[in-house]
Amino acid sequence: MTTRLTDSPENPAETAANLTKLNANIEKIETLTQRLIQALAQKRAPNPAVEAPGHGLFAHAVTAYWKEALENPGKLIEQQAALWGKTLKHYLDAQQALASGKFTAPEDTTPTDRRFSNPLWKTHPYFNFVKQQYFRNVAAMEQALQNIDDLEPHERKRVEHFARQILDMMAPTNFLGTNPDALEKAVETEGESLVKGLENLVRDIEGNRGDLLVRLADPEAFRLGDNIGATEGGVVYRNRLIELIQYAPTTEKVHATPIVIFPPWINKFYILDLKPANSLIKWIVDQGYTLFVVSWKNPDPGYADVGLDQYVEEGFITAVNEVKAITGEEKVNAVGYCIAGTTLTMAQAVLNKRGDKSVNSSTFFTTLTDFSDPGEVSVFLDDDFIDGIEAQVTKDGYLDKYFMARTFSFLRSNDLVYAPAIRNYMMGEAPPAFDLLYWNGDGTNLPARMAVEYLRWICQDNQLADGKIRICGETIGLDDIKVPVFAVACETDHIAPWKGAFNGFRNYGSRDKTFVVSQSGHIAGIVNPPGKDKYGHYTNDAEMGEADDWFASATFHKGSWWPRWESWLNARSGKKVAARALGNKAHPVLAPAPGTYVTEIPEI
């Protein structure tokens, strides 16, 4: 039976037994607290520049706010009086409800929010008072930000983003004393949920060397090569940056032109091979293609001086050449996902400058090449953050995966930070066995030089879109992409917004361009197999002018974009030949898929 906060006390014998259990749990908490202190002692020296935006941002906002207040004090007084008046009325309403002898909350007109789904937020006077006051404070803060006139659009966007982070952090659901779900669970379990929660917290801090990164999925639920990343294949080439995996054929005949996929090296390649039902890798093989996928090295400080030149030459161009050598074909069809799509663009432009025709066609998943409008990520691309990252990687020799994971998580903080933290730490529950979240927590480090070059040259200076970036001795731009190209962007992508992807893609030099917008976000819009029809996609054969105009006249198609892409690829993949064995004499199988790089943990 579930014990609720409004239930009557148990009988004396039960109460005594429960008190004994509670005291035992309190002793466990004391022991765990000592472990927590020891774990926190391992925390790296703080770098304020990568923890929050520079002081100048909020200083300017506060200055602009008080400037407005001095010039128009009536507006400030009116706003504060409205907040105080609503607060006082709410307090009086609550007092009157209690004075009437009824344990009920006053009228509640706050917005629907899944964080506040427990019925007690509406029915219990205490929790209802806390919730209503929180939403009043949020509204007051939002109004105050709207009233600041002297802010540039980008500066306003940054202030609003980080103010929202503060407001989300201060939600009453994030604190034990004001979270009815957590309090009920603690009462029901005589404090055991808090003990388990503290165990989860200590484990996560110990696992991140003193830093806190909330674990999103059960780490024991998945085994690479067994129930995740298990499509049959083998590593047929390896250098210091990549393992090249070739996948075993499942058809008697295959298209002559092979495919090589370059996944992002911020995370692991098996996002495209989570399980057979949603594995793009398996699906491509089943359509009759010879498929190669790059698995990237997880770098340590010894890779500090590896930059974009090395990723292009030793990663992309080398992989293309090795695929040609293994298959005996003169050309390959290349695919790049996210940052790997951006870098595939650079690699292909370099090949074009060299007169190398090795790439027959290119496909880009959620790829930004024009950073004039990078979307939500733009709040992290100013000098206050980038200077901090540069200082951090100069000291460490690499950008720890912790920083990237935290940055992307806080773009969706309620879903990827606070809700999991409440579940793990306050409710004492184990993280779920969810393959996508498991992958999301399995990040990689970035070499120091590459991280800074990408952030400075590509994101801040937009040198690739401007045709001014120099890679591998060549000055290149988007116009250097001449082969047929296919791009998939995602409608609600918060990492690579579809309009930004559109703006870069339309400036490619190819005459054969196909652009698709998939429903959903950065991952779900790509890992969207046929058959389920969960997400559809948009196409438009019209000239790629303005993004909004293109989308307004686009045609919606129910279901996955995968078959549409395969049809496009089919026409550019040559005749059918006998299915190929893995590797050849010069390229023996070095290890079964998923390889060794994907599971390596660098020694730091």
The alpha carbon of residue 255 and the mean position of all alpha carbons in its chain are separated, in whole angstroms, by 34
CA distance 300 to 446: 8
| Burial class of residue 82, CB neighbours in 10 A (0-12, 13-18, 19+) | middle
**Across-strand partners of 578?**
253
CA distance 558 to 31: 55
Q: Any catalytic annotation for residue 338?
A: yes
Nearest to 258 by CA among 316, 326, 339: 326
Q: At what angle do helices 192-207 and 180-188 cross, to 10 degrees?
A: 110
CA distance 494 to 407: 12
423-442 burial, b for 16+ CB within 10 Å, e for fewer? Answer: bbbbbbbebeeebebbbbbb
Per the residue annotation, which of 338, 459, 472, 490 is the catalytic one? 338
CA distance 376 to 374: 7
CA distance 594 to 598: 7
| Burial class of residue 505, CB neighbours in 10 A (0-12, 13-18, 19+) | buried
CA distance 266 to 225: 20
Q: Are 352 and 481 in contact (CB under 8 A)?
A: yes
CA distance 341 to 369: 8
CA distance 478 to 459: 15
The DSSP letter of residue 516 is: E
Element (H, E) at 475: strand 474-476
Tell me the C-alpha to C-alpha distance, in Å, between residue 172 and each of 111, 195, 298, 452.
15, 21, 39, 38
Task: Please report the DSSP string for 30-54 in residue order.
Answer: HHHHHHHHHHHTTPPPP-HHHHS--
Nearest to 484 by CA among 565, 390, 548: 565
Tell me the C-alpha to C-alpha distance, in Å, between residue 416 and each of 120, 159, 374, 436.
24, 21, 21, 12
Give a three-class secondary structure readout of 550-570.
HHHCCEEECCCCHHHHHHHHH
Amino acid code (one letter) for 242: I
CA distance 525 to 492: 9
> Is residue 101 left, alpha or beta, with left meaning phi > 0 and alpha meaning psi from -120 to 50?
left
Residues serving a catalytic function are: 338
